[in-house]
Amino acid sequence: MPGFELFGDDERKEVNEVLESGILMRYGFDAARKGRWKAKELEAAICKELKVNHAQVVSSGTAALTTALASLGIGAGDEVIMPVFTFVASFEAVLSVGASPVLTDVDETLTLDPQAVEEAITPNTRCIMPVHMCGGMADMDALKSIASKYNLPILEDACQAIGASFKGNYLGTIGNAGALSFDFVKTITCGEGGAVITNNKSIADSCDAFSDHGHDHLGKDRGADLHPFLGYNFRISELHAAVGLAQLRKLKTFVTMQRERKAILKESIGNIRGISFRKLPDPAGDNAAFLTFFLPNEKAARETTKAIQAAGLSAFYWFDNNWHYIRKWNHLKAGQSLYGLHADQLSQLQKLNERNFTQSDSILSRTISMPVSLSWSIDNTREKAQKLSETLSSMAGVLV
């Protein structure tokens, strides 16, 4: 992680084909584009690679989540259950369709705790949205069982986990719909981009129209299209799609590289007292973008994070992160928005100030993640693993 680390001639070739045609928009201009349809090619390639029936590429992972929520019929007065550990885009998308995010505890998978999900369900719940964080996966069997019990759709936020799987099925393809992100720091990148994936044709048709101003794309040209419902401009450009097409062809290679390098790092610290690892419901399906481990307590995690960084290695301490954990989402808890939020949304956000997320605090305050780089050689990875091992071993006094 991320794909930009291995950007090269393959990406340039695809982009140059778009530049040669001069057609940067994904729709129309049929004659001038010389048979080049990069967005369509990328959609077909995603379907083939991830073994899913439909893909709609859009301008970002946030746009993918918004498009998927709208296509699932989620809107004003509805509640969407999502985890307290995610990226801010997850709740931004929920709010953007007029629904209310219901923030819920994570467990040691660092994803939705199934028990907490069931406890959070109300008569207004309309969707469960697991977020597959840091390349790993939620317990999809447990979440599907709950969703079936309460007749709720599942929207998988797989923006950080493309290429990861659960029991043989790619993340994003297990629920009713899934969202992927191809931004600059994801496992594969378009620069900016995303996709909705689904096996449901009705959802796919809605995504196709919603992401392009409601165009039904059934006319001979855009001027002949009808508009069965309102939509927005979440289109991807041909330039961005071209980059993603080249990157997608490398996905299996990227994931294999990450897994090899993560295994080296993990082995180097596996026997150090006081270290335990993130729970993965299907370890074989991890896309291995991060090595994530737990320390005995918050003090140990803070001191160890500083020591790892002082050793010249990268380490994320999510508990203090203002992008990814509810603790620093003050703007959300205050309902600070440039446009007016409706009463249901403000009421739900106000509850965040009163709720106790002790379970998640206990887990995230002990959590460190180390990103796995595609730019590392195997020898370089072994050197980093040795440095990581030495650093953690030197912290024996606090790892108790």
Catalytic residue among 51, 149, 167, 186: 186
The helix (run of H) or strand (run of E) holding residue 95 is: helix 88-96
Radius of gyration of the chain (CA): 21
Length of the chain (residues): 400
- Using CA atoms, how far residue 61 sits from 102, 112, 182, 375, in Å, is 20, 19, 7, 24
What's the burial of 140, exposed, middle or buried (CB within 10 Å: 0-12/13-18/19+)? buried
Q: What value, to the nearest 5°, has the Cα angle with vertex 60 and ends 56 and 65?
A: 70
| Pairing status of strand 100-104 against strand 79-83 | parallel
- Using CA atoms, how far residue 106 sits from 130, 296, 371, in Å, is 10, 18, 21
Strands of 234-366, DSSP E: 276-277, 290-294
The yes-or-no answer on residue 186 being catalytic is: yes
- In contact, 201 and 50? CB cutoff 8 Å: no
- In contact, 194 and 244? CB cutoff 8 Å: no
CA 303/CA 305 separation, integer angstroms: 5
- In contact, 187 and 2? CB cutoff 8 Å: yes
Nearest to 76 by CA among 396, 347, 397: 347
- Joined tokens for residue 95: 């709010």
Give residue for tokens 């469960």. Answer: 128
Task: Name the 3-class secondary structure at 266.
Answer: helix
Task: Name the 3-class secondary structure at 305.
Answer: helix
Nearest to 182 by CA among 163, 199, 162, 209: 162
- Residues designated catalytic: 186
